[in-house]
Amino acid sequence: TAPPARPEEEPFSVADPPDLMDDVDIASPPPSAALPSQGAPSVLAVPEADFGASFQDLDISAPPQSAGQPAPRFESKAVEPAVGGAASGSTSSSTDLHVVVANPAKQGDGMSAFFTYEVMTKTSLPQYAYGQFSVTRRFRDFDWLHSQLVSKYPGTIVPPLPEKHAAQVSTMRVSGVGCSSEWVEVRRAQLQRFLQRVAAHPQLHSVSDLQTFLEASDDTLEAWKQSSQQAAKASPYYSSVLTDVKSGLLSTYSRAATMLSAEPLPSFRPQEDMACAQMSNYADAMETQVAAVHRHSKRFIERHRALASSMSGFGLSLTQLANCEADINPSLARALSSMGMSVDRMSNLYDEQGAREGAAFEEPLRDYIKMIGAAKGAIGARAAALSSLNGAARSLTAKREKLDKLKGRSSKEEAAALTAREVREAESLHSIAKQEYEQVAARVDGEMARFQREKLADFKAMLVGFVTLQLEYSKRMQSAWRDLLPHLEGISDGPPPSAGGSGGT
């Protein structure tokens, strides 16, 4: 439901949990005009985002000559932070727009059941009506925002969302059994990561769709969705292009290329984009290798979890053996009991280590595979724009050649006039396609440069964190074994008492 109306003279605030929002120091601007409560959505104007970052600092080698050769390395000169600074990762929070997703709650029963989430925002950006506010959203609202960002800004690396139809949700709807608290928390964290990445994006953080998602009432958000849908329908060609880009398919351009290639046109030479091919090869290779690292790291972590289980049984068996020896050799029984308790504590350490390794390394790697997929989507948008440009260029070339053949022939004056008009239309379409390609190409250049910088910080944090965990738990394990050793060395060497007891003959 929409947040309750508040007097305009009072700032909009919510009672935030202290561990979520109170530690964020963002100056709250005085309230301005609030969003309308009814009618068409009217979000405050936001300056048009500038996506034209340069890609000239990137040093990328040529793509492989054949499929059998390895993909080239994709090295960036822009990944190192400035002197005295540090590269920020893809999960870094924005300093002027802080978003938290909290309080997941199940709504409804059966096949209509779903989860809602409270989205709490603190901001100092002037386009927002208040400095602190909250709304309630469900997954389809997050999915709408993601789709809008992909559609409106082709070539942008839009952060990934968790799976839309998770198996746990389907099971909950069919069986009526709720999802586990662990799964709900993971999904909440993934949705929060998505919003925080968008909020930290240098261009996306100021777009109107994000602002509407964060601060609009439910009615205003639905009205905004409908107006966006109508705007997309008003431009069917553009909508079709964006649908192809979002799904990672270039079917529209593939069909156009197939139709055009049916008629040979020797004079036409399609434009090539070597940088786009290099980026695509790099992204494919990185996706494969990160997936391999994730797969093997998962096995490594599972080994620690298996050790936790086996050591738990080991400790229990030692304790039971100590009970057997209690009346026969108390010294040995005490040592066995001490060892059993120590092994049981080490079992807990292995279990704790596996959980922390999963959260600090395995899960971020799995998430990074999705980020690479988002990067491939941006590269695919550039390839799609290039295909569109080449299709328009080829059509223009063909019409110009046709017009040249008709000129000077008195019997073809009407056909020549019609063809001349087609040439003018083709020139206009070619100009639009060229402008779109140049914008998308510049956007991808900047996005890939940013991706390289954030990748450096992200992987550094993951690797350092993983090795730090190994050192920490290795020391704790060594300490546990070291503390146990004196108890074992203190086992008495004296003869055990008679099994029949200490009574006389």
Band the pLDDT of 235: cuts 50, 70, 90.
low
Region of residue 84 (left: phi > 0; alpha: psi -120 to 50; beta: else): left
Instruction: Give the integer Cα–Cα distance in Å for 175 and 117.
Output: 22
Instruction: Give the integer Cα–Cα distance in Å for 277 and 63.
Output: 7
pLDDT at 360: 93
**Range 156-171 average pLDDT:** 77
Residues 6+ positions from 199 with CB-CB distance below 8 Å: 93, 94, 97, 98, 99, 205, 210
- Here the tokens at position 145 are 């925002």
Band the pLDDT of 312: cuts 50, 70, 90.
very high
Instruction: Give the integer Cα–Cα distance in Å for 429 and 263.
Output: 20
- pTM greater than the 0.85 cutoff: no
Instruction: Give the integer Cα–Cα distance in Å for 234 and 263.
Output: 32
Q: Which residue, 140, 118, 124, 122, is CA-closest to 132?
A: 122
Quick one: three-class SS letters along 143-191? HHHHHHHHHHCCCCCCCCCCCCCCHHHHHHHHHCCCCCHHHHHHHHHHH
Cβ atoms < 10 Å from Cβ of 424: 11
pLDDT at 263: 62
Which pLDDT tens digit goes with each residue over 38-88? 333 333 333 444 444 434 444 444 444 444 443 333 333 333 333 344 456
**Range 139-162 average pLDDT:** 94
pLDDT at 457: 93
| DSSP three-state, residue 70 | coil
Range scoring the smallest mean pLDDT among 3-12, 115-124, 259-268, 293-302: 3-12
